[in-house]
Every structure is written in C-alpha cells, then in structure tokens.
Amino acid sequence: MKNLNTFADFGLEPKVLQAITELGFEEATPIQSKSIPIALTGRDLIGQAQTGTGKTAAFGLPLINKIPKEEERIVALIMTPTRELAIQVAEEIGKLARFKGTRSLPIYGGQDIVRQIRALKKKPQIIIGTPGRLLDHINRKTIKLDDVQTVVLDEADEMLDMGFMDDIQSILKLVPEERQTMLFSATMPSNIQKLAQQFLKNPEHVSVIPKQVSAPLIDQAYIEVHERQKFDALTRLLDMESPELAIVFGRTKRRVDELSEALQKRGYSADGLHGDLSQNQRDNVMRKFRDGSIDVLVATDVAARGLDVSGVTHVVNFDLPQDPESYVHRIGRTGRAGKEGAAWSFVTPREIDHLHFIERITRHKIARKPLPSIAEAIEGKQRITAERILELVEAGELNEYKGIAIQLLEQYDSVNLLAAAFKLITGDKNDRANIELTPEEPIRVKRRNPDIRSSGRKPSGYGNRGGGGGGYRRDNRDGGGRGGYGNKGGYSKDGNRDSYRSSDRKPRSSNSSGDRKPYKREDNSSFDQ
C-alpha cells in the first residue's frame, strides 16, 4: 500500500482527517489517491482496484467530506449486492464520519422494517442499502430520493448484473439527473461499460489494476482431489495450516450446511452462512466470525464480495467457483490491507480445464500442491498446540494446575507426560465420525474453440464459454451459489443474493435445461483495465 500521497494532500476537513488518523491509515492507497481528488470535484467515476485496497474509503471519504453537518435530507445513496456488505460499509462510513458526525444508515432485507422506519426518522444523510429493501421503502414512501446528489454502486459489476438491473434502474430513475454516480469493484467486465453509459455521465476511469487482477499478497495454490476426498483434504489442510480465521466456499447452500455440520462434528469451530438462513442467524454467524468465536466460516458466494474481516489468513475453495470474477473476489477475502494470505482451491480431475481458464483470465498461475498427508496434518496440529501451550506458560497464572503437575512428575518422566497430554489434546476423538457429503457435479467448461488465445493482454474466455451441456444440474443445487452458465443470477431483491429460487427472481433465461444461453460477457476483456 505504498503511495506518495498522504491524506492531508486531498484538502479534507480536519475532522475527517482526524478519523483517518484514528483508524491508523497512514498513507492513502493508490485507488484512494487517484479517486478521492476526482470524487471531490463531483465528476462521475468508475474505480477499479484489487480486493482489500480500500475502495470503501475511496468513495466514503469524499462523500463524508462533502455533506454539510446540518443537512437533514438523504443526499447520498450507496448500494451493495449483499446485506452483510451493506452493514459493513455502513460501519466503515460510520468510523470515517465519527468526528464529523455525518449520519448514515444501513437498509437491508431481513431486518425489521418498522425499526428501519424509526431509524429513518433520525434524518440520515447517507443510506447504504441493498436494492430490494430500498425499493420497498421507496414504495412505502419512507425513503425519498429527490435530494440525492451522489450514488455509489459498490461491487458495481455484481450490482449491474442481471439480477439487480431492473431494481437499480427503478431506483436511479428516482434520483435527480444532476448527480454524481460512482461505480467501484475489483473486477470490471467490459459489459459494465455499456451499462455505465446508462447511468453515468462522462465518467473518469480510475484503475489501479496491475497485470494481475487478484491481490498480490495472496499465495494461490490448488490441490487435485476427487470429490469424495475433499472433506479429508479440508480437515488436513486446516490442521496443517492452522489458520487464524478461514473462509471455506461451497457451491450450494446444501453444501454449506453439510460442510459446516461435518466440521463441527470433527471438532472444528465452524459455522455456515448462506441466503436461506434468517437474518438473525446470518448476523450471529458474522458476529461470531468477526469476534473470533468461530474460526471457520463456511459460505456460499454470499460472502464472496467485499467482506473485510481482519484475521482471515486462509480462503479455501472447497468447490471451484463458476466465474473467474468470483474466484478473484472469494480469494480476496484474505490478503487485505497489506497483509498476506493463502488461497487454496480443490479441483477435481474433470475441473482442471476450468482451473486453467480461471488462471488465464486472472493472468495468474496457480501452483499445484500435493494433498496434505496425515503426517503433515498431525504435525500442524502439534505445532499449533505447542504454540498455545507456550503462550500459556508465558502468561503464567497456572498455579491451580501446578499441584497435579508436580504429583505426576514424581511418578512419571516429563516427556511421557507431555506426550500423553499432546495425544489427548490433538488426537481427534471424532476422527471416525462418519462424514458423508452429497457429491456436487464438477464444473465443466465446454471445449472452447482452440483458436482462442489471449490477444495481447486481453484474456480469452467468456464470449466463448460453453452454454450448453456441462454446468451442474440445477435442481440439485438447492438454490445455492450461482446459476449454471446461462444464469449468473441468483439474487433475491433484497440482496439475499444466493437464494436462487426466490419467487421474486427474474431469471434471465427461460431455458432451464442444458441449452441455456451462455452467460453473456460481451467480449473477452473482463479483466481489462
């Protein structure tokens, strides 16, 4: 995150600078130093920068700076694709606005609407919301957008994707034409340009994506496994690597449920997140993950975009994602704000082509690593246990336990005693717990025209992706993750984005069989700058 600019260079108000200092931001990140001056002029903006590089503050700071304290109307609107992201962005805005006192409010589906209406009476200046619930309030006339001067679409490519398009159009129609509109994401498929033409006026493009689109501090690896080996591979990996916090992505809701239950059975502190849970459950899981009371979050793509949880050292793609974008965003939950991270993907033999496709589009070679051995897993567990024991020794406060230790040491030698203690702590009583996951179909890329190559820096791909065949059986998916090729969608209107079969869904394609329309990335430049 090296940059020449300090925040003081932008002419931000002292109270805004004070918040920045308080948060410990020393230098502006490249996307911040490039986009803040432009955003402050009021120009429209399309901002692209790698995951975890501070895009939230890049749009948040100019907003906060611009809004007069005495403003009583809603003058800014930020839209996000998921509820968790709306909550998080609202929190970050809240921190940045702490000294200035700018009032912001998250508005998302699943939360008591009466409570939201009450909060809206306190005259927030910035609303951060998911499209469905925003529309709900607009229809009830509890939110009025007549005075909105700035609109931000966070995760713009996701937001502008088909599932949300109609809602966003309806919302933006109600915002005065004389406004500033900004789009941000780490990935900007080229079709976003066309969509941006509808919503933006002569936007400035700010891109700080170097050659590779995924964040540079993420060590990316894959393990070739058969479907039935995946669970053991995961537990060995978790044991070997002992992550501080890990996010494990599964393809469907059923997968996430089964996997988080199986991990719990084996003694891991894990829980699942997907769109079929109640908002209360979702909030609880996120709270537990953020405060470290669970170490492993198992999630569908609902957690792929934007989430910023410090301490996430590992991301595991238990199932490969369909889209390279999704891969970039999923692994971007680690390696944030200058920290390092590790991303592991499980790839079944039939998915190797798909992995190469992801490599090609993201312009990054993913290293192949062997399946961790049982010995490595045991060694990892012992290492982490030893570290924890030593931490306890350093911390002292062991008086209550010293009596028994002394007694035992009178009878047995210390090596045997410690070894037995290790066996007790690390030996898995539940190793034999019978775990059977419902198998998922492999993701398959239909053979593409062999002529297709990267031309210059343009990756090949989307336009030629197979639409027919392959994919997974949709009925089998239990509504999780993304649709097959023809249907990237999977949002309900309230940002509950993986509830695929929500009744209010507007599927893009009426075909439900293998003959789906290919997911339309107009050309191949999805990671173009």
Q: What are the distances in angstroms from CA 120 to CA 124, 125, 351? A: 6, 10, 48
- DSSP helix/strand/coil, 308: coil
Q: Which of residues 175-214 bind ligand ATP (CB under 6 A)?
A: 186
Q: Please state the separation of Cα 83 from the chain's center in Å.
A: 12
d(CA 507, CA 191): 19
Tell me the residue nearest to ligand ATP as measured from the CB.
54
Instruction: Please check whether residue 97 is in contact with residue 65, taking contact to mean a CB–CB distance below 8 angstroms.
Output: no
Does 150 contact ligand ATP by CB under 6 A?
A: no
> Quick one: what does residue 332 bind among Mg ion, ligand ATP, none, with the CB cut-off 5 to 8 Å set by partner type?
ligand ATP
Site for ligand ATP, residues 218 to 237, rule: CB under 6 A = none
Q: How far is the CB of 58 from Mg ion (least distance, A)?
A: 9
CB-nearer residue toward ligand ATP: 175 or 331: 331
Q: How far apart are CA 329 and CA 215, in angstroms?
A: 9
**Calpha distance 275→282 (Å, rounded):** 8
Q: How far is the CB of 126 from ligand ATP (least distance, A)?
A: 16
Structure-token pair, residue 219:
């060590």
55 binds Mg ion (CB under 5 A): yes
Instruction: List residues bridging with 217 in a β-sheet.
Output: none
Q: Which residues neighbour 424 within 8 Å (Cβ) at sequence distance 6 or greater?
A: none
Q: Which does 28 bind (CB under 5 to 8 A by kind): ligand ATP, Mg ion, none?
A: ligand ATP
| Residue 53 beta carbon to ligand ATP: minimum distance, rounded to whole angstroms | 4
Shortest CB 377 distance to ligand ATP, Å:
30
Q: Measured between alpha carbons, how far is 528 from 112 in angstroms, rounded to an integer?
A: 41
Name the token pair of 5.
């600019």
Q: Residue 247 in contact with residue 303, Cβ under 8 Å?
A: yes
The reply on whether position 331 binds ligand ATP by CB under 6 A is: no
Which of ligand ATP, Mg ion, none does residue 336 bind (CB under 5 to 8 Å by kind)?
A: ligand ATP
Count of residues in contact with Mg ion, rule CB under 5 A: 2
CB of residue 53 to Mg ion, shortest distance in Å: 9
When asked if residue 332 is in the footprint of ligand ATP (CB under 6 A), the reply is: yes
Instruction: By CB under 6 A, tell whether 335 contacts ligand ATP.
Output: no
- Least Å from the CB of residue 158 to ligand ATP: 10
Please, are residues 304 and 312 in contact by the beta-carbon 8 Å criterion?
A: no
| Stretch of 134-142, 243-251, 296-304, 329-337 lying at the interface with ligand ATP (CB under 6 A) | 329-337
- Applying CB under 5 A, does 341 fall inside the site for Mg ion? no
Task: Give the Å distances, CA to CA, from 528 to 189, 207, 479.
Answer: 7, 10, 31
- Report how far residue 327's alpha carbon sits from residue 346's, in angstroms, rounded to the nearest whole number: 12
Among 106, 250, 275, 306, binds ligand ATP (CB under 6 A): 306
CA distance 383 to 190: 47
The correct pick among 29, 242, 322, 464 for binding ligand ATP (CB under 6 A) is 29
- Residue 48 to residues 20, 31, 220, 362, 370, Cα–Cα distance (Å): 22, 8, 21, 15, 34
Return the residue of 161, 308, 325, 351 that touches ligand ATP, per CB under 6 A.
308
Give yes or no for residue 54 binding ligand ATP (CB under 6 A).
yes
Determine if 306 is a binding residue for Mg ion (CB under 5 A): yes
Q: 422: which 2 tokens? A: 């290790």
> Judged by CB, which is closer to ligand ATP: 59, or 231?
59
Cα–Cα distance measured from residue 402 to residue 454, given in angstroms and rounded to the nearest whole number: 66
109 is an interface residue for Mg ion by CB under 5 A:
no
Of the candidate spans 54-62, 103-111, 144-152, 457-465, the one that interacts with ligand ATP by CB under 6 A turns out to be 54-62
Q: Residue numbers of the site for ligand ATP (CB under 6 A)?
A: 1, 25, 27-29, 32, 49, 51-57, 186, 306, 308, 332, 336-337
